[in-house]
Structure 1
Amino acid sequence: MRRSLVGTAVTLAVGTLLTAAMTTASASPGAAATPTPEVRVPRPVLVDCLWHQDVRPADFILACGDGNSRLTGLHWAQWGPREATAIGMNVVNDCKPYCAAGTFHAYPVIVRLDDPMPWKKHPDVQHYTRMSLIYTDARPEGFGHVMTYPLWD
């Protein structure tokens, strides 16, 4: 019985020493991986008609005065520090015979935002200053395959 108590004590002591050695080794500076500092690149925003900033909006009004052109159902593939791209629909009023009596038509588009600059309202915030719409099928009368617009500041 005495022999088993000594054996148990020796086993516990060896286990304790091994645990202490492993803890010390893993805590040493050379054993642990040095964490890489996270570099955060500020993402530009999209400024709407009411001077609100947004990131990846689902909808966006292009014709602020009358709402006769807007983007809907936007699905963003990317939103980066230099550009953003999405697919969606450009819903445009044909204004025939006049805008109040016109019909809205939806056209599939690829939306590209780029040319980020500091926003005048908040100079520490970057905002996209240019939008290009690429029509992938039909397009409104008088529109080109690609339409590029400056965005307000």
Structure 2
Amino acid sequence: MKAQRIFTQGLVATSAAAALTVGATGIAQSAVITNAPEVISAVVLDPEGNTQVEPEALILTPADNNNAVNFITWLVWNDQIAVGTGVEQVNTCEPTCAEGVIVNKPVVIVLDGVEGVEDSDDQYFTEVRISGVDGERSLDLTTVTILPIPAAEEDEDGVVDDEANPVVDAPEEEEDAEELPEVDEDDADAVAEIAAALAKAVAETD
């Protein structure tokens, strides 16, 4: 219960801080408002320069794939902030990573730190904040892998340019969707409640 209280208090503080930030910067929500200027949602930018909106997963340790946030559901995605929930899956690596057990932890994800894309009207998120029962931490988005990897581009004749897309291979057959892993229900409820409150705070600042 102590961990649960600390978790909830920490996320409430995160929500309050985000709400203040949102209020100060005048974040526009995605709802369409008559005669309002079009709001262009921010994107996530990978090292190859590919842009994405609402990625399905974030691999936090690309070198070994032992820590990732999967099964992401985005509640808010606009030009200044994105809020979602997901399941952080961590390999305990005990006694070795090959023999480790995967631990599933529900988390709240916040993307912010918007900067402009060079020679473009686009804006991109630079920071990801992950909050859960183990506390909150921030990571530079350029240090994580964003999934799914964009499909290989084709030329006018429908031929894939291998030089432009050297690491992307089309799968031979479609894999079945993964089932959502079991997580602690109390933690999951706390995550869902705080994420919803944060999303509401963002929307109400419009």
Q: Shorter-normalised TM-score: what interval? A: 0.5 to 0.7
| More strand by percentage | 1
Q: Give the total of aligned pairs.
A: 110
**Structure 2 alignment gaps of length 5 or more:** 1-33, 144-206
Does residue 131 of structure 2 align to residue 134 of structure 1? Answer: yes
1: CA distance, partners of 2:93 / 2:47 = 21
The code of the aligned residue for 2:127 comes to R
Aligned residue in 2 for 1:102: 100
Does residue 141 of structure 2 align to residue 151 of structure 1? Answer: yes
The code of the aligned residue for 1:69 comes to N
**Structure 1 alignment gaps of length 5 or more:** 1-35, 140-144
Structure with larger Rg: 1
| More helix by percentage | 2
Aligned residue in 2 for 1:91: 89
TM-score, normalization by structure 1: 0.63
Q: Highest relative contact order (Cα 8 Å, sep 6+), 1 or 2?
A: 2
* 1:43, distance to aligned residue in structure 2 (A): 1.1
Pairwise CA RMSD? 2.2
Q: Name the CA shift for 1:123/1:152 in 2 (closer, same or farther; >3 Å).
A: farther
Aligned residue in 2 for 1:114: 112
* 1:99, distance to aligned residue in structure 2 (A): 1.9
2: CA distance, partners of 1:51 / 1:98 = 35
* 1:123, distance to aligned residue in structure 2 (A): 4.6
Give aligned-pair identity as a percent.
26
2: CA distance, partners of 1:82 / 1:52 = 19
2: CA distance, partners of 1:49 / 1:93 = 25
Map Cα deviations across residues 61-97 of structure 1 (whole Å, 9 max, x no partner).
Answer: 1211111111111111100111000011111111111
2: CA distance, partners of 1:118 / 1:102 = 40
TM-score, normalization by structure 2: 0.48
Aligned residue in 1 for 2:21: none
2: CA distance, partners of 1:90 / 1:49 = 22
* 1:150, distance to aligned residue in structure 2 (A): 1.4
Indicate conservation of the 8 Å contact 1:59/1:73, yes or no. Answer: yes
2: CA distance, partners of 1:107 / 1:50 = 30
1: CA distance, partners of 2:99 / 2:39 = 47
